[in-house]
Every structure is written in structure tokens, then in C-alpha cells.
Amino acid sequence: MEQSDFMEDKLVKELSQPLANAAGWMKFIGISLIVLGSITALTIVGLITAWLPIWLGVILLKASNNARSAFVAGDKKSLIDSLLGLNNYFTINGVLVIIMLLLAVLGIVFAFAFGLFFQAFDPDLFQI
């Protein structure tokens, strides 16, 4: 039984080493996101969206701490929690990228539509 626990700890340490190596960068990005979210919250419009980078920063900080804990102690639960945190971080970022792409396409369509709309009133407006 003790041999099995030792092998599991060794496996967890081996699997968590790449995450533990990246934990410093995860912590840096997490703190940066929290600071940027806090600065964003100082504006009126930023109050609406500031929670998002703060939330992402907290997720990364927790994932970083769990990755280090998994590597140092060989804790399987910490490794799983770290991977789940990274999964949440990338899922949220993926959804945000999709939303931003949709907003960019809508902005281009509206800009084109407004250009055509105003050209209908004054065709000479866009003549060079």
C-alpha cells in the first residue's frame, strides 16, 4: 500500500512539473489581470466589465498555487484543481474571443450600412 502511494506521488510530481514551471508566469498574468481590472473599475463604463479580468486573474492565481502544491507535495487533488482552473480560464477566454469577433463583424457591417445610407442622401459625398 505504501509503495502504491509513493508511486502515485512520484507520478503526480512528474506530471505537474510543467505546470509548476509555468506557475510563475500564471501568477504574473493573474496579478496583472487583477490590477488591470481594478484600474478599469475606476471608470464609469469600466464598472460594468471590470469583474471579468479580476475573475480571470483569481482563476490563474489559484491554478498557479495548485500547480506548485501538486509538484511539491505530489497532491493529486491539487493537480486536478490546477488543470480545472486552466480549463476554466481558457474556456472563458475562448468565449470572449468569439464575442469580440462577432462584435467586430457587426461593427464592420454597421459601418458599411451607414456608409451606404449616407451615400443615398448625398451621392457626391464620397466623390474625390
User: Using an 8 Å Cβ cutoff, are 29 and 62 in contact?
Assistant: no
| Residue 117 confidence (pLDDT) | 80
Number of folded domains that form the chain? 1
| Residue 124 confidence (pLDDT) | 67
User: Using an 8 Å Cβ cutoff, are 32 and 64 in contact?
Assistant: no
Distance CA 52, CA 105 (A): 22
Distance CA 99, CA 14 (A): 37
For the chain, the average pLDDT equals: 90
Distance CA 16, CA 80 (A): 10
Percentage of the chain beyond pLDDT 70 is 92
User: Using an 8 Å Cβ cutoff, are 67 and 22 in contact?
Assistant: yes
Cα–chain center distance at 4: 37
Full domain range(s) for residue 115: 2-126
User: Using an 8 Å Cβ cutoff, are 63 and 20 in contact?
Assistant: no
Q: What's the helix, strand, coil split of the chain in %, to 5?
A: 90, 0, 10
What pTM, to 2 d.p., does this model score? 0.81
pLDDT tens sequence across 31-43: 999 999 999 999 8
